[in-house]
Amino acid sequence: MTHPFVRLLDALYLACIWISGIALIVMCLVIPIGVVARYLFGFGAQWPEPIAILMMVVFTFFGAAAAYRAGAHIAVQMLTDRLPIPLRRGCAGFVHLAMLAASGFVVIWGFQLVQGMMGQTISELPWLPVGITYLALPLGSLVTAFFVLEHIVFGSQHARPVCTFDHEPGVAEEAI
């Protein structure tokens, strides 16, 4: 049986996957709309570009959090693989602490950025405060910080069924 905090982070992980996926789909739909409007109908729609940029930021920060938990983030292991096991563990611990520090930095300064930009709007989307567009930075980094803390306290979760998608009935049998 898994710890309740880990189960909560399972739900948060799946939410990150869904948020990232929806942002990617919206981005992939909005960009062609702008291209079709410009080249087929002869007018340039102003809203597709800022929406696509916003979706890319959402995809990046929430997708990075999910990738960290799933162990799918970019890692250069050429040097660390050649170190003795105690030094490897020390390097891994340093990496997790550095990730925690970087996530904390983006959470703190990201929320300050969001607050500072709430009074401004995007010219193409006057109903949308700029601060809302930056909200993915601190929220995605906060989720990453939770996943880092989980990794430090409970160990890696990347081999669990929720991260490998083996938890769905019939998926393992179809893969064979």
Q: What is the pLDDT of residues 30-66, one digit of tens each?
A: 999 888 888 888 777 788 888 999 999 999 999 999 9
Q: Is 155 helix (H, G, I), strand (E, B) or coil?
A: coil
Q: How many domains does the chain have?
A: 1
Does residue 101 register a pLDDT over 60?
yes
Does residue 24 register a pLDDT over 60?
yes
Q: Per-residue confidence at 172, pLDDT binned at 50, 70, 90?
A: very low
Kindly give the interhelix angle for 4-39 and 48-70, rounded to the nearest 10 degrees.
150
Structure confidence at residue 67 (pLDDT):
92
Does residue 169 register a pLDDT over 60?
no
Give the bridge partners for 156, in sequence order: none
* Domain coverage including residue 47: 4-175
Structure confidence at residue 149 (pLDDT):
94
Q: Per-residue confidence at 170, pLDDT binned at 50, 70, 90?
A: low
Give the bridge partners for 129, in sequence order: 121
